[in-house]
Amino acid sequence: MKSPVKILLINRHPPYGHAAARDSIDVALTGATLNQDVQLLFMGDGVYQLLPQHNASLLEQKNIGDLLSMLNMYGITQVYAQKKALEERSLSGEDLTIATQTLSDSDIQTLIAQQDCTLNF
């Protein structure tokens, strides 16, 4: 295995209403456990996953916010959010729970070009 593989998980779905957010976290945890270099990018509605105080118990679903804040214990520290998506939703980097770098769309192109693999959720 060439190691570590740079894997970018691009998240475009909000935290609830679609399995994508949970599916992405499962891949992130597996990749981190297997010592790969997993990074997360949140674009479009995906930035909603980064807001604090999810009340997932109302939906009988796992709390995505809690799961995301656990990821840095697994060595996943590079978390990015699309600047334009935040602005469109009247959010800023300060509203977000986990330490996130905000990126312009051209920074995102650079980030993607640096990866070995990107997966979409």
Partner 1 sequence: MRFSLVVQAPPASRQGSHSAYRFAQTLLTDGHELYRVFFYGDGIHNASRLYCPPKGEPNLPKLWQTLAQTYQLDLVVCIAAAMRRGLVDSNEAKRHHLDADNLLSGFQVSGLGQLIDATAHSDRVVSFD
Write the interaction track for partner 1 spanning residues 30-59; mark x where CB under 8 A is met and - where it is not. Answer: xx--x-x-----------------------
SS3 content of the chain, % helix, strand, coil (to 5): 45, 20, 35
86/92 Cα distance (integer angstroms):
6
Written as six digits, the tokens of 62 are 């796992």
Nearest distance, CB of residue 1 and partner 1, angstroms: 4
Smaller CB separation from partner 1, 14 or 91: 14
Helix extents (H) in the chain = 20-33, 64-70, 83-88, 105-113
Nearest distance, CB of residue 24 and partner 1, angstroms: 10
Nearest distance, CB of residue 13 and partner 1, angstroms: 11
Nearest distance, CB of residue 16 and partner 1, angstroms: 15
Applying CB under 8 A, which of residues 26, 66, 87, 88 lies at the interface with partner 1?
A: 26
Q: How far is CA 28 from CA 17, 89, 99, in A?
A: 20, 26, 16
Going by C-alpha positions, the residue among 51, 29, 37 that lies closest to residue 8 is: 37
- Site residues (vs partner 1, CB under 8 A): 1-3, 5, 7, 19-20, 23, 26-27, 30-31, 34, 36, 116-120
